Amino acid sequence: MATREVKPNDPMIDPATGEFRVIAQGQTFRSITEKIARIVLTPHTPMGWFGLFTVAGGVAVVLLTAMTWLFLVGVGIWGITQPVAWGFAIINFVWWIGIGHAGTLISAILLLFKQGWRNAISRFAEAMTIFAVACAGMFPLIHVGRPWLAYWMLPLPFTMTVWPQFRSPLVWDVFAVSTYATISVVFWYIGMVPDLATLRDRSQSKIAQYFYGMLSVGWRGSVRHWMRYETASLLLAGLATPLVLSVHTVISFDFAVAVLPGWHTTIFPPYFVAGAIYSGFAMVLTLAIPLRKFYHLESLVTERHIDNMGKVMLATGFIVAYGYAMEAFMSWYSASHWEAFMFWNRVWGPMGWSYWVLITCNLAIPLTTLWSRKLRTSIPFMFFISIVVNTGMWFERFVIVVTSLYHDFLPSSWGTYRATKWDYMTFVGTLGFFTFLFLLFVRFLPMIPMNEIRMLLPGAKIKPKVAEAAD
């Protein structure tokens, strides 16, 4: 049952079932088109958007400053030492890639399973994926040094004298992330073509008409166009679905193929994939809740969407919990002194506080509260949970990288890890860069698919008797 009292004419609740609707009652084809198109075509940009855009741009400048100094001085400005040769760069790389997983999951897998509730959130989830991958992609380049030679990691036979080492996990990352980014961009753009044509036809500005007309590539909404659009969407969804599993699986191989205690375990691939979906859906909530409030989209992004995303987070959270349990079990069952020591040091060592932060944020708070339907449909609480989970997932990557490295096989080389201000500036700068790109997307492109939302209306479905009469 719904968590609030069912009123006789409540547009958000179906009185027959007591469930929240996917789309509020009373919406029409015209009202949906006007509500979404007005956000892009309005000549008066909200001042709040300008304020956020200015702040995000300023934070992105911090990233530019940190990277400029990095290129001039080198990676020595970071806190990486021996034996902690990996630091914030790899932590942030894995974290951002994980955030990008929810977009492809919502767009591809839920499309194949014909889950209509995905429609309202699929577009900005796809955009989130692209911008998160853009943030993630920069870290391997700046971490290895000499980023101007990054093309060496690609097999270019006409320019290369030495080909990439295909046994290197770094090369696997390049192939996986570049493939994932390509499919995500194509899927995102193909899905926008009908909506771009709508903006082209409704725009009063000549510049906007040319801009959206060029992007809509001659879309006229004919039966042939729709058939090709549906075919392309299903084909891309089929191609993107295995990428949801393969990309973070390949990322986990950066650790799993090593001989370091705490890393070389077969649980890492599914454990990383579940964690990626967990943090990805948390970021979708972090973006969706402010957007629906700022642009008054409560009738399109309803409590039903918030509730369903909470259920997905609950399910993936338990998979992550299983991964944590298996790490503890295998450290005991392996009968390896070093495996046992690594896990004990991870939990109770000098940096054990970070382990308990991730347990609190990833397991204790979400998995004890998301069972409640009342809490899952509470907008402030779900926003709070999304921040908590993203924080916990960042600390999970911190624990995997740092606490597995700072006490290695040789006690004489043991040390600690302290991030420098340049580490923090680089990480915070990527948050600003991500927000900067996302705000541009919200302002100039339709963040909710108009054509897919219209298909949810009762009038979009032709009853069989009516269709027979029309024939």
129-184 pLDDT tens trace: 999 999 998 888 888 777 888 777 777 766 666 677 777 788 888 888 888 899 99
Q: Is the dihedral of CA 81, 85, 89, 90 positive or negative?
A: negative
The predicted structure's pLDDT at residue 82: 80
The predicted structure's pLDDT at residue 160: 63
Distance CA 187, CA 181 (A): 10
Q: What are phi and psi of 20, to 5 degrees?
A: -70, 145
Per-residue confidence at 100, pLDDT binned at 50, 70, 90? confident
Q: What are phi and psi of 13, to 5 degrees?
A: -125, 135
Q: Encoding tokens for residue 308?
A: 């369903």
Per-residue confidence at 225, pLDDT binned at 50, 70, 90? very high
Mean pLDDT rounded to a whole number for the chain: 86
* pLDDT (tens digit per residue) in 185-207: 999 999 999 999 999 999 988 99
Give me the architecture of the 29-470 domain, per CATH.
Up-down Bundle (1.20)
Per-residue confidence at 25, pLDDT binned at 50, 70, 90? confident
Per-residue confidence at 12, pLDDT binned at 50, 70, 90? low
List the domain boundaries for the chain. 29-470
Per-residue confidence at 417, pLDDT binned at 50, 70, 90? confident
The predicted structure's pLDDT at residue 159: 62
The predicted structure's pLDDT at residue 467: 38
Distance CA 191, CA 235 (A): 12
* pLDDT (tens digit per residue) in 33-52: 898 999 999 888 889 999 99
* pLDDT (tens digit per residue) in 206-224: 999 999 999 999 899 899 9
The predicted structure's pLDDT at residue 466: 38
CB 219 within 8 A of CB 87: no
pTM of the model: 0.89
